[in-house]
Structure 1
Amino acid sequence: MCIVAIAWQLFDELPLVLLSNRDEFLQRPTERLHQWADQPIYAGRDSQSGGTWLGIHQHQHQGVYEQNGRWAAVLNFRDGIQAREDERSRGELVTGFLTSELSPLAFARQIDLQDYAGFNLIVGDSQQAVIVNNRGHAPTPLYAGLHVLSNGQPDDSWFKTDKLRGRLRQEVLPLISEDNRLHYWQDAAFNVLSDTNAAPADRLPDTGMGADVEQALSSIYIEPIAFGATAQSMPTYGTRTQSILTLHHKEESGIKAHLISRETNNIARSN
């Protein structure tokens, strides 16, 4: 189901700090973070549909990796509406933006919203970040601040989004203010992303699922669970990837994107 936190334009040298958990069915085939051979993209890859949930523009030219500062992330929208077989993969929205030359706002405005199952999409570069969904939220530039969203409307107050926002303000953003080098605050960020505390019964959202499922999905990090089966069944779903994406102002080279991901303690890094 996924959760994303974006510290946008809060730090002079780090205009973007993005933290993300990707929640997915455990059997869905996935390639870990890598430089794609067929497109100028650095990201993990959904082997089933060919797209991605989070990535940056990056390509190799004469042995050197080059970037243009474009980044994007997509989350599904949980409202009980079943996806149709003829709908396009939501991962195409990320790859489409990363390979486009349109501004974030122009790209968001030209999406044929009804071609996809429910989604929240965030697209950006070093100057602008835009969020859009196909559940009534028009393309809207992000204001400078901390934004946390999951699988409802961007301004919904879910237990997991409130918990992540609070922990970031207390435990991670102060560290970045002290020293914005990734190694200084990376462990704290991954620790916050690994919070397994579930919501109390009175803080569960109503997204068309049973209370037991809502509670299992209510934590920042979703431990492996069995969907639609008995407790003795093998787990089928959970948090599979945790990622940190930053844009860094460097005097000698301009904007530099850094993306790292962690899957079962394996870490891959951008060049």
Structure 2
Amino acid sequence: MCIVALAWQVLDGLPLCLISNRDEFYHRPSAQIDFWPNSQIIAGQDLQSGGTWLGVTKTGRWAIITNYRDAREQQQYATSRGHLLQQFLESDQLPLRFAQQLEQHQCDYAGFNLFIGDRRQAVYISNRGEPPQVLAAGVYTLSNGILSDDWVKTRHLRKRFTQEFLPLLQLEHTPEATIQQLAWDLLQDQRKVEIDQLPQTGIDTAFELLLSSTFIQSPNYGTRCSNLLRMSQEGWSWLEKTQYGAAQGEIRTINTIWSEKKPT
């Protein structure tokens, strides 16, 4: 997962609204969003290492991860970062408590940024210099640096998310098709960053430039799927748009209502 914009406790009736792209090598096997068997989890799944990149539960827990990009790091890690989301989603811990415990063994994982939350609290943690922090109401954008990094790539998405998308959601009687179309338009933005404004993450300039757009396309690597996730007072609305392969353009929709289990 390589870029996300979310509004937390900003919109009336929508405690969380999130859009994101998952970028990955095309050959890496994965499954689209679905209800996991014998579990509260709804998520896609990494079929190579297990775990997921974005997931929710029927009780209102949610989690999303991006990798922290530093090509200069050579260490290999045995544990997949995608399992962190599964651990949180299957637990009953408060988001902050989970993040504080994760901090004690965060060095077991390659670099990550992690948003976790429930219906009342949202927390961000990174194992590359950002301790757990409870999110205040607001808009957050994140790619493959830490949350406090000011990448032009995330600045572009934040501007359109706050100036175009969120105002549309606040209008009465906006057609659902209009909302979805604008979400996909934001996430399919292929605008590149000027070379002198690229972050320095240890990769060559040509690859850094390729990765500088919200939507990424190349022969071997790119945006695999886009997501529009909304938490209402009643439950989840999740749309996942396939962006590569034979099913390109297909949209899978999952709507849920909260289970009777009380949120943490």
Normalising by structure 2, we get a TM-score of 0.90
1:80 paired residue among 71, 80, 96: 71
Deviation at 1:89, TM superposition (A): 0.6
User: CA offsets, 1:95-153, max 9 Å, x none?
Assistant: 11110100110111111201110000000011111000100100001111110010001
Would you say 1:121 and 2:114 are equivalent positions? yes
**Aligned residue number for residue 43 of structure 1:** 43
| 8 Å contact kept, 1:87–1:117 | no
- Give the distance between the partners of 1:68 and 1:181, measured in 2 at CA: 27
**Aligned residue number for residue 61 of structure 1:** none
Structure 2 letter corresponding to 1:208: G
Q: How does 1:184-263 map to 2 (within 5 A)?
A: 184-223=178-217, 225=218, 235-250=219-234, 256-263=235-242
| 8 Å contact kept, 1:70–1:124 | yes
Q: How does 1:150-169 map to 2 (within 5 A)?
A: 150-169=143-162
Would you say 1:269 and 2:253 are equivalent positions? yes
Structure 2 letter corresponding to 1:153: I
| 8 Å contact kept, 1:221–1:239 | yes
- Give the distance between the partners of 1:144 and 1:181, measured in 2 at CA: 26
Number of aligned residue pairs: give it. Answer: 247
**Aligned residue number for residue 62 of structure 2:** 71
- Give the distance between the partners of 1:181 and 1:124, measured in 2 at CA: 28
Q: Show structure 2 runs of 5+ residues with no match.
A: 243-247, 256-264
**SS in structure 1 of the partner of residue 130 of structure 2:** coil
Comparing 83-92 with 130-139, greater Cα deviation is found at 83-92
Deviation at 1:82, TM superposition (A): 3.9
Deviation at 1:81, TM superposition (A): 4.1
Deviation at 1:187, TM superposition (A): 1.0
**Aligned residue number for residue 90 of structure 1:** 81
- Give the distance between the partners of 2:122 and 2:152, measured in 1 at CA: 25
**SS in structure 2 of the partner of residue 242 of structure 1:** strand
Deviation at 1:164, TM superposition (A): 0.2
- Give the distance between the partners of 1:16 and 1:183, measured in 2 at CA: 19
- Give the distance between the partners of 2:254 and 2:62, measured in 1 at CA: 13
- Give the distance between the partners of 1:181 and 1:95, measured in 2 at CA: 34
| 8 Å contact kept, 1:77–1:120 | yes
**SS in structure 1 of the partner of residue 97 of structure 2:** helix
Q: Percent identity?
A: 45
Would you say 1:100 and 2:91 are equivalent positions? yes
**Aligned residue number for residue 136 of structure 1:** 129
Structure 2 letter corresponding to 1:178: L
What is the alpha-carbon root mean square deviation over aligned residues? 1.5
| 8 Å contact kept, 2:54–2:65 | yes
Structure 1 letter corresponding to 2:133: T
CA shift in 2, pair 1:33/1:137, >3 Å? same
User: CA offsets, 1:27-60, max 9 Å, x none?
Assistant: 0001111111143211111001111000111xxx
- Give the distance between the partners of 1:195 and 1:46, measured in 2 at CA: 25
- Give the distance between the partners of 1:139 and 1:3, measured in 2 at CA: 20
